[in-house]
Structure 1
Amino acid sequence: MMMERTYTYKTVGSCNIQADVYRLEDELIRPVIVWVHGGCLMRGSRMDIRSRGLMSYVNEGYTVVSIDYRLAPEVKLKSIIEDLQDAIRWVREQGPDLFQIDSDRMAVIGSSAGGYLTLMSGFCVEPRPLALVSLFGYGDIAGKWYAEPDAYYCQMPPVSREENLYIYCRQNGLWPNIVVGHDPKTEPRAFDAFCPIRNVTLDYPPTLLLHGEEDTDVPIEQSIIMQAELSRVGVDNEFVRYPGEGHGLDESYSDAVAKALLFLKKHIHFN
């Protein structure tokens, strides 16, 4: 049987930011996966995990902590990353007593924008996770793919900011400006702290990248350049490409979860 509990890991003003914890209903001390939802940092929920391989992770013996975080444009990226840091700190400090985890055996997994935040956790939290899994995520938020009008989205009818903020950003190349609060064309150095690809060192955790070759939302080049940088520096990494798959790996998602579990088995040691 699976146990589910909801906790508030942080309060900002009147906003309670929560995490859902899933684990087998026993007293064993288990390794933990912090799961980070996607949604372009503008939408999405911790509850998305329920259709994203949750039972596979739990049945394999992990406790899964699926976190919410504040969203743009109500807050800027700096605050979102602070939520990520605070969530992981809360899991480390409170998790052993609240839900019987070994906080030293931690992995972070996320998809799309959650994959980006997963890659951020490789250098912006201490102690660092033992392993990272980024599903169709990205390591460079200041590149042309986000900072210039996108060909795929420009094929759609133009929308206003009020109609659909994300599509508006992609059609006008404004996502970095609105989410970060800086213009990558005039303030390139302002993005140094927000781009995982600029912060890879030998201390970066082992990383698995999974990406569809036909992804029209986050181009596979984002995983290609991240994998190249990880390899250049000497970080243990694996990269799985899915021919014919788009954003979300719809037909291959279960295979991606299976590959994630194999990767974690190499880096997360069970007692």
Structure 2
Amino acid sequence: MAFPNIAAAVRFDIEYKSVKGLSLELTVWAPTAGQADAAGLSALSRCPACINFHPGGLTGGIRTDWLPEYLIDEALGQGIVCATVEYRLLPRTPAVEILQDATDAYFFVRDKLSDELLARGLPCIDPQRVGVSGLSGGGWCAATLGGLDIGVKAVFGIYGMVGVDSPYYNTVRPEATIFGIPPLPPPSDFARLSQLPELAGLPLIDFSKTREEYEKMGQNALDHYDQIVFSIHLIQYGCYANQITGTDGLSEKLSEPDLEKRKAIVPSNLHKLFPLLNIGPNYPLTALLHGTLDDGVPIEDSDNWKAQLDKVGAPNKLVRVPDAKHGFEVGLKNSNDEPLWHDYVSKAVGFFLKHLKE
């Protein structure tokens, strides 16, 4: 069995908030009594928890997309409750409200999920040991939570999209090809998206089909495609900061290569939306995992994340995976028979989980 701890765990879905008619849910995996016992926990023990945020550039994805099963399986085997989060998406929902979704999910797991676990006869959660993880756009969610000083125990960024203040995300280059997707139409073709109903997640799509092929399938199919690739559009047209903040003209000012100068450019009340601008001495211990040939979220995002953590003395570990692209570990098994796991991924996972349990 590929992921025996996941297979043995108690899995359930639960709503963590309702907003504007949308039900936002978590999928939870909780260790059974047998798993807790094997991890050295009694039935009355309080378990650590790991909350995961899915990828999709903040414009697409659902909570089970690109699920890091290697992380969840490893965590469950150590008696850690795991949850993955549905959150709303740009541009239909402002980034500040997406951050609120992530924050509400964290507080729900920390302060309320134990009621459901206890009702099921399962160990409850230790509110002092709740960590967050995120892949790509979900890494933005995890990293922003780390900067809020709300008690997050540890952060795990997996090719996290944290450099949204940087020139990569804010320089106009419509000819850029990202994830093999050719240049997209100008902003006027995407303006309608912000007028469409808010979304509690949207499944990722088959990128082998072109935009023209989706357009032939009808308006709903085109809306789905454009919603998913909107993050790529934002990179090509260099306007991520504008979208994140709802402030026209900010992106144009962020072509500045020096991070400290960019920090001065962005108004201080908006720093919480830019993970690299909001790292202080209380930032949680952080594990980072990134491929050196990432073709969507540049390795520099994690390099700069580590540099800022080092600057404030926050414990961290960056595992750089040579020649690996975006999503390199999707489907990976947490087995020492897998060189990618043994040589690279396990080192980041182990660093994160070890501290989470302390």
Alignment TM-score, normalising by the size of structure 1: 0.90
Q: Where do 1:126-205 residues align within 5 Å?
A: 126=150, 128-150=151-173, 152-153=176-177, 157-160=182-185, 161-162=189-190, 163=211, 164=226, 165-182=230-247, 183-186=250-253, 188-190=265-267, 191-205=270-284
- The equivalent position to 1:36 in structure 2, one of 35, 50, 53, is 53
Q: Does 1:111 align with 2:128?
A: no
Unaligned runs of 5+ in 1: none
1:212 corresponds to: 291
Q: Work out whether 1:241 is the aligned partner of 2:320.
A: yes
Separation in structure 2 between the aligned mates of residue 52 and residue 156 of structure 1, nearest angstrom: 27
**1:23 offset after TM fit, Å?**
1.4
How far 1:158 sits from its partner (Å)? 2.8
Amino acid at match of 1:39: G
Could you tell which deviates more after superposition, 242-251 or 219-228? 242-251
Q: Distance in 1 between matches of 2:183 and 2:294?
A: 21
Aligned residues: 269
Q: Does 1:94 align with 2:117?
A: no
Rg comparison, structure with higher value: 2
Considering Cα pairs closer than 8 Å and 6+ residues apart, tell me whether 1 or 2 has the greater RCO: 2
State whether residues 152 and 216 of structure 1, in contact with CA within 8 Å, keep that contact through their aligned partners in structure 2: no
Q: Name 1:124's counterpart in structure 2.
A: 148
Q: Determine what percentage of the aligned residue pairs are the same residue.
A: 27
Deviates more, 1:67-76 or 1:163-172: 163-172
Aligned match of 1:258: 346
Tell whether the 8 Å contact from 1:245 to 1:251 is kept in structure 2 after alignment: no
Counterpart code for 2:164: I
- What secondary structure, in the 3-state scheme, does the structure 2 residue paired with 1:149 have? coil
Find the aligned partners of 1:101 and 1:209 in 2 and give their Cα distance.
Answer: 25
Q: How big is each residue's C-alpha offset from its partner over 1:25-80, in whole Å with a ceiling of 9 and x where there is no partner?
A: 22453210011111100111112264542323222321101111111111010000
Alignment of 1:225 with 2:301, yes or no, is no
Which segment drifts farther, 82-91 or 183-192?
183-192
- 1:16–1:177 CA distance, 2 compared to 1 (3 A): same
Superposed CA deviations along residues 77-96 of structure 1, whole A, max 9, x for unmatched, are 00000101111111111022
Tell me: CA distance 1:97–1:251, structure 2 relative to 1, closer, same or farther (3 Å). closer
**SS of structure 2 residue aligned to 1:64:** strand
Matched to 2:105, the amino acid is A
Counting strand residues as a fraction of each chain, which structure ranks higher?
1
1:85 equivalent among 92, 98, 103: 103
Higher mean displacement: 248-257 or 105-114: 248-257
What does 1:1-20 correspond to in 2, within 5 Å? 1-20=8-27
Structure 2 residues without counterparts, runs of 5 or longer = 1-7, 34-42, 118-123, 191-210, 212-225, 255-264, 335-340
State the TM-score, normalizing by the size of structure 2: 0.69
**Alpha-carbon offset, residue 244 of structure 1:** 0.4
Distance 1:144 1:250 in 2: 27
Partner residue of 1:48? 65
Task: Determine which of 88, 91, 110 is the counterpart of 1:70.
Answer: 88
